[in-house]
Amino acid sequence: MSVLELRSISKVYGRGAAEVQALRDVSLTVAAGEMVAVMGPSGSGKSSLLTIAGTLEEPTSGAVVVNGEDTLRMAGGAKSRIRRRAIGYVFQDFNLLPGLTAAENVSLPLELDGTSMRKAHLAALKALEELGLSDRARHFPDQMSGGERQRVAIARAVVGERSLLLADEPSGALDSANGESVMRLIHTYCKRGVAAVVVTHDAQLASWADRVVFLRDGRVVDQTAAPAGPETLLESSS
Amino acid sequence: MSVRHALLALLSEGPKYGLQLREEFEANTGQVWPLNVGQVYTTLQRLERDGLVSAVSDAEPGGEPGPQKAYRTTEAGSAELVQWLRVPPDLSTPPRDDLVMKVLIAVRVPGTDVSEVIQAHRRYLVELMQEWTRLKEDDNGRDVAFALVVDSELFRIDSVVRWLDAAEARLRRALADGWNPAKAAAATLSAGLPTRPKMGVRR
């Protein structure tokens, strides 16, 4: 089943002479377990696409369907709920709350959604353990390296069985080794059934995705074909 | 790729047989560059002729190499290896790159959407990178030599993708500013081709 379905999304900012058409008739479907990268230069509409997919912003026209539900037809409360329960966000600059420890940052979305503090804390510790960050659970963001902070941010985004992970240049602020481990991590979650959309201008990061969609001037202009087996590569290099 | 120096490097660890050299070479390059055993023997013969390796003990010097013949490096061989490691490969002359040519030519073909041409190449390259990344992912960093080779391929292809991005942006800007490639070329010709400084630093 598709986790995210964008149907003919258009987005216009401003009016008259200041009008900017950020997205033009963009359709994109992401299945459970699929990792899609959206590649394009700055100004191509990548970030608008992500905020609209995450229901943080409404399109000018089109439909945003998450887990089969048309989010534009939802009441405010139901929409916040889907945002809290189904969707996780990862940002370039991590966006961890500086006054909270790693574990508290991860457990916060669960607590906001009504999970008891104790249960949320245990879930956070488990998520951090999986990322090899158990010894960092009581550290504050400024006591951690960039790579560790981003892994905590990913734990926060996926904790509580969320089905859609949206990431905006998630390794933009990291060196290549840390960038790679972030992409590896997102891919691992996808293999467990999470659907992910990663926006990036970096081809090396995009190449972790199952499918790469190319955005130009607010339009999807192209996408990569279904993957061939890696065997073909080694054969062709011999 | 220098099979010659790779074999010298493997022999610098101690005497080895041809078959063993082939296996170690492939293991050390993450099996990305397969080598046939005939190539190993030919290379060993040449190295022996140049005095960089010598056959060990029971085998006749100068005879046909074969499974029963082990080799070791000579002093000249070790010196050659040390020297080779430190001499940068010649990158000073730009290679005649097919892709660069295609983009330069696309600009001059009437009715051609250069962005569309660039995108066709970009997609191909990203698909290639996806394949390499999958290999890297499957291996999960266990084979360091292999990861090094894959990284080098990824960085190489990535640099081409980045060039395409930059080329597209530059062309769009120029076209938006009213640049006309045919007129520009004619103007350059009538003014005389500029002489550009020769590239290359002493290595």
Q: What is the ipTM of this complex?
A: 0.86
- CATH code of B38's domain: 1.10.10.10
Residues of B in contact with A238 (CB under 8 A): 34
Query: Do A228 and B24 meet the contact criterion of CB atoms below 8 Å apart?
Result: no
Predicted local confidence at residue A95, as pLDDT? 87
Q: Looking at the structure, tell me whether residues B121 and B50 fall in a common domain.
A: no
Contacts across the A-B interface (CB distance below 8 Å): 70
Q: Looking at the structure, tell me whether residues B79 and B111 fall in a common domain.
A: no
Residues of B in contact with A41 (CB under 8 A): 165, 168-169
- Give whichever of A78-92, A162-176, B151-165 has the largest mean pLDDT: B151-165
Task: Determine whether the interchain pair B126/A233 forms a contact, defined as Cβ–Cβ distance below 8 Å.
Answer: no
Q: Looking at the structure, tell me whether residues B127 and B171 fall in a common domain.
A: yes
Residue that terminates a domain, selected from B57, B86, B115 = B86
Residue B35 belongs to a domain: yes
Sheet holding A2-13, edge to edge: A20-31, A2-13, A61-66, A69-70
Q: Looking at the structure, tell me whether residues B79 and B139 fall in a common domain.
A: no
* Mean pLDDT in residue range B46-73: 78
Q: For residue B56, what are the contacts with CB-CB under 8 A and spacing of at least 6?
A: B15, B69, B70, B71, B72
Which of B130, B135, B138 faces A224 most closely, judged by CB atoms? Answer: B130
Kindly give the interhelix angle for B18-28 and B3-11, rounded to the nearest 10 degrees: 110
Predicted confidence (pLDDT) at residue B49 exceeds the cutoff of 70:
yes
Query: Looking at A54-58, A214-218, A224-228, which range is the least confident one?
Result: A224-228
pLDDT tens sequence across B114-133: 999 999 999 999 999 999 99
Residue B67 belongs to a domain: yes
**Tokens read off for B191:** 């003014």
Residue B39: which domain range?
Answer: 3-86
Kindly give the interhelix angle for B3-11 and B75-86, rounded to the nearest 10 degrees: 120
Q: Looking at the structure, tell me whether residues B8 and B62 fall in a common domain.
A: yes
Task: Determine whether the interchain pair B123/A227 forms a contact, defined as Cβ–Cβ distance below 8 Å.
Answer: no
Amino acid A122 reads: L
Is the dihedral angle over the CA atoms A130, A132, A137, A142 positive or is it negative? negative
Instruction: Tell me which of A207, A221, A223 to substitute to probe the interface with B (most B C-beta atoms closer than 10 Å).
Output: A207
* Mean pLDDT in residue range B138-151: 84
Task: Determine whether the interchain pair A187/B137 forms a contact, defined as Cβ–Cβ distance below 8 Å.
Answer: yes
Predicted local confidence at residue A234, as pLDDT? 57
Predicted local confidence at residue B2, as pLDDT? 84
The minimum CA-CA distance between B140 and chain A, rounded to whole Å, is: 9
Predicted local confidence at residue B195, as pLDDT? 76
Spatial distance between the Cα atoms of A124 and A137, rounded to a whole number of angstroms: 9
* Mean pLDDT in residue range A211-235: 79
* Mean pLDDT in residue range A5-23: 94
Predicted local confidence at residue A178, as pLDDT? 83
Residues of B in contact with A234 (CB under 8 A): 31-32, 135
Closest CA to B29 of B154, B156, B152, B149: B149
Average confidence score pLDDT of chain B: 87
What φ, ψ does residue B47 adopt, rounded to 5°? -65, -40
Predicted local confidence at residue A237, as pLDDT? 45
Task: Determine whether the interchain pair A184/B137 forms a contact, defined as Cβ–Cβ distance below 8 Å.
Answer: yes
Residues of B in contact with A212 (CB under 8 A): 123, 126-127, 130
Residues of A in contact with B32 (CB under 8 A): 234, 237
Q: Looking at the structure, tell me whether residues B128 and B181 fall in a common domain.
A: yes
The minimum CA-CA distance between B21 and chain A, rounded to whole Å, is: 18
Amino acid B174 reads: A
* Mean pLDDT in residue range A188-203: 93
Predicted local confidence at residue B125, as pLDDT? 96
The residue ranges of DSSP E strands in chain B, in sequence order, are 16-17, 53-55, 70-73
Residue B201 belongs to a domain: no
Residues of B in contact with A209 (CB under 8 A): 130
Spatial distance between the Cα atoms of A181 and B150, rounded to a whole number of angstroms: 16
User: pLDDT-based confidence at B157, cuts 50/70/90?
Assistant: very high
Contacts 24+ apart (CB under 8 A), B15-21: B15/B56, B15/B70, B15/B71, B15/B72, B16/B70, B16/B71, B17/B67, B17/B68, B17/B69, B17/B70, B17/B71, B18/B44, B18/B65, B18/B66, B18/B67, B18/B69, B18/B71, B19/B67
Task: Determine whether the interchain pair B126/A224 forms a contact, defined as Cβ–Cβ distance below 8 Å.
Answer: yes
Q: Is A204 on the interface with B (CB under 8 A)?
A: yes
Residue B13 belongs to a domain: yes
Predicted local confidence at residue B132, as pLDDT? 93
Spatial distance between the Cα atoms of B114 and B117, rounded to a whole number of angstroms: 5
What φ, ψ does residue A93 adopt, rounded to 5°? -100, 30
Residues of B in contact with A203 (CB under 8 A): 125-126, 129, 157-158, 161-162
Spatial distance between the Cα atoms of A169 and A149, rounded to a whole number of angstroms: 14
Predicted confidence (pLDDT) at residue A184 exceeds the cutoff of 50:
yes
Residue that terminates a domain, selected from B31, B63, B86 = B86
Residue B25 belongs to a domain: yes
Query: Do A212 and A224 meet the contact criterion of CB atoms below 8 Å apart?
Result: yes
Q: Looking at the structure, tell me whether residues B110 and B80 fall in a common domain.
A: no
pLDDT tens sequence across A113-138: 888 999 999 999 988 988 888 999 99
* Mean pLDDT in residue range B164-174: 94
Higher per-residue pLDDT: B181 or A215: A215
**Tokens read off for B181:** 């490639």
Task: Determine whether the interchain pair B123/A214 forms a contact, defined as Cβ–Cβ distance below 8 Å.
Answer: yes
Predicted confidence (pLDDT) at residue A229 exceeds the cutoff of 60:
no
Higher per-residue pLDDT: A52 or B58: A52
User: pLDDT-based confidence at B95, cuts 50/70/90?
Assistant: confident
Task: Determine whether the interchain pair B133/A214 forms a contact, defined as Cβ–Cβ distance below 8 Å.
Answer: no
Q: Looking at the structure, tell me whether residues B127 and B167 fall in a common domain.
A: yes
First to last CA, chain A: 40
Domain count, chain B: 2
Residue B195 belongs to a domain: no
Q: For residue A11, what are the contacts with CB-CB under 8 A and spacing of at least 6?
A: A21, A22, A23, A45, A48, A52, A57, A59, A60, A218
Spatial distance between the Cα atoms of A24 and A21, rounded to a whole number of angstroms: 7
* Mean pLDDT in residue range B64-77: 82
Predicted confidence (pLDDT) at residue A238 exceeds the cutoff of 50:
no
User: pLDDT-based confidence at A94, cuts 50/70/90?
Assistant: confident
Q: Looking at the structure, tell me whether residues B10 and B40 fall in a common domain.
A: yes
Predicted confidence (pLDDT) at residue B203 exceeds the cutoff of 60:
no
Query: Do B47 and B32 meet the contact criterion of CB atoms below 8 Å apart?
Result: no
The minimum CA-CA distance between B33 and chain A, rounded to whole Å, is: 6
Q: How many CB atoms lie within 10 A of CB B13?
A: 10
Q: Looking at the structure, tell me whether residues B103 and B82 fall in a common domain.
A: no
Residue B128 belongs to a domain: yes
Query: Do A204 and B157 meet the contact criterion of CB atoms below 8 Å apart?
Result: no
Residue that terminates a domain, selected from B65, B86, B107 = B86
Predicted confidence (pLDDT) at residue A227 exceeds the cutoff of 70:
no
